[in-house]
Amino acid sequence: MWFDSHCHLHLLEERTDLDDALGRARAGGVDDMVTIAVDGESSRRAIDLAGEHGLWASAGVHPTSADGWTADMAAEVERMLEEERVVAVGETGLDFYWGEVDPAAQQRAFEDHIALAKEKDKALVIHTRESVAAAIETLERTLPPERLVFHCWSGELDDLRRALRLGSYVSFAGNVTFKNAEAVRAAAAATPGDRLLIETDAPYLAPVPYRGKTNEPAFVAHTGAAVAAVRGEDPAEVAASTSANARALFGVAT
């Protein structure tokens, strides 16, 4: 059974019938998932969806929305972190790809999310796009929360070693199946088994053979199989170990 450690059901429901997609996921052996928020509105929707479907949610503001990170928003996210189904802060982090939000604003929001994860004892979900080293430097300086994950890993092996020294989990998405993703596959092979996670990032980054289509949690098995192949491991063993890792990261029972 697979655990999709990072998907965006609030975005997936805009593209397809969500009940049908969740039915396909369960039929395909996906027994749990965390739906990840990117701003205040999606945090509230993630909580509602988690309650409706017996799943888990995060609350937080994505770095590309960090210009909306105000004192009021911080207080609202802090309140949402008290909800029963909320197991993570984020996704947060830094994004230097789009260049639409002041890096200083992203940095302030990221550090506030780190502090919230520590205060509320929640997992920290970290986004890094062309910013892995900067995010690691921030965590090294501020000291990380007890539980954290770099989602959709995109760094080099030196970055990976630094992230692991922080005690981080490392999650791999559908891009690990892409033809030009040798560096991502090398990182998947090098990640210790007790720190490895699998995700879809649905509706984005559909894995081969669905590349270019809407991604959904059912496809996490394809990503997991690709990770298992580069590690020389059985997919069923990777499913079991990464599910256990996800439950440990998010603090949820079987």
**What tens digit of pLDDT does each residue of 89-146 get?**
999 999 999 989 999 999 999 999 999 999 999 999 999 999 999 999 999 999 999 9
pLDDT band (50, 70, 90) for residue 253: confident
- Write down the pLDDT at residue 20: 98
Report whether pLDDT(254) > 80: no
The tokens for 10 are 């609030």
Tokens 């802090």 correspond to 78
**CATH code of 9's domain:** 3.20.20.140
pTM score of the predicted model: 0.98
In whole angstroms, what separates CA 15 from the centre of its chain? 20
pLDDT digits (tens, 9 = 90+) for 94-106: 999 998 999 999 9
Torsion of the alpha carbons at 207, 209, 215 and 221, rounded to the nearest 10: -70
For the chain, how many structural domains are there in total?
1
pLDDT digits (tens, 9 = 90+) for 142-180: 999 999 999 999 999 999 999 999 999 999 999 999 999
Cα–Cα distance for residue pair 222/173, rounded to 1 Å: 10
SS3 (DSSP) at 209:
coil
Domain span at 185: 2-250
Q: What average pLDDT does this structure show over 44-61? A: 98
Whether residue 40 contacts residue 61, with contact meaning beta carbons closer than 8 Å, is answered with: yes
Kindly tell me the burial class for residue 100, based on how many C-beta atoms sit within 10 Å of its own C-beta (0-12, 13-18, 19 or more).
exposed
- State what percent of residues in the chain have pLDDT above 70: 100
Whether residue 171 contacts residue 198, with contact meaning beta carbons closer than 8 Å, is answered with: yes
- Write down the pLDDT at residue 198: 98
Look at residues 250, 224, 218 and name the one whose alpha carbon lies nearest to residue 31.
Answer: 218
Question: How would DSSP label each residue in 39-88?
Answer: SHHHHHHHHHHHHHHT-EEEE---GGGGGG--HHHHHHHHHHTTSTTEEE
Cα–Cα distance for residue pair 49/86, rounded to 1 Å: 11
Q: Read off φ and ψ for residue 24, nearest 5 degrees.
A: -65, -35
**Strand ranges of the sheet holding 196-198, from the earlier edge strand across to the other edge:** 2-7, 30-35, 56-59, 86-95, 123-129, 148-150, 169-172, 196-198
pLDDT digits (tens, 9 = 90+) for 196-208: 999 999 999 999 9
Cα–Cα distance for residue pair 163/136, rounded to 1 Å: 7
- Write down the pLDDT at residue 137: 98
- Write down the pLDDT at residue 153: 98
